[in-house]
Amino acid sequence: MTLSAQDKAVLINSIRDIHDFPKPGIVFKDITTLLSNKDAYALLMKHLHKRYSTYNLTHVAGIDARGFIFGAALAQMLGVGFVPIRKKGKLPYTTVSEKYALEYGVDEVEVHIDAFSNVGNPKVLLIDDLIATGGTAFAAASLINKVGAHCIEACFIMGLDFLSGQTKLSEVVPVYTVIGVD
């Protein structure tokens, strides 16, 4: 299930471009304007609910931090648990971590070791606002599988189509992007 061209246009038009942020030459896709547009946000969340209502999920996992916004709301709509995947050092209990490469170094994400232990055979949707090069998402999907759950799909509100993130990630998990950006 995908959105119509008209619905995609509503979402695209609700996202603001910020030029030269966080550094010169970058065009940052600011989702705060989508979040503050009640009609666009409702359209998006209803679409995600409809898409994932038949997946028999047990959890939605959101990537720190904007994935929390979409993930927690979607988990509540689907009647499943929400699990945060956070940057290193932000979770209070025993964690499992996964490193990933950055343009200029390495970073790390973590999940609680028992994040999915409240159900048998956990089926998890991974969600975030944007996929660019895919490093964070690849690490997050690996973490989900590492702690005994099954990442059945990775969902992104936007995909930067000119980068290789979606292709790389699709080698380990199916990927769905609501809207693509050239």
Catalytic residues: 66, 103
H helix or E strand, kind and range, residue 158: strand 150-160
Q: How far is CA 29 from the centre of its chain?
A: 15
Among 52, 103, 107, 43, CA closest to 76: 52
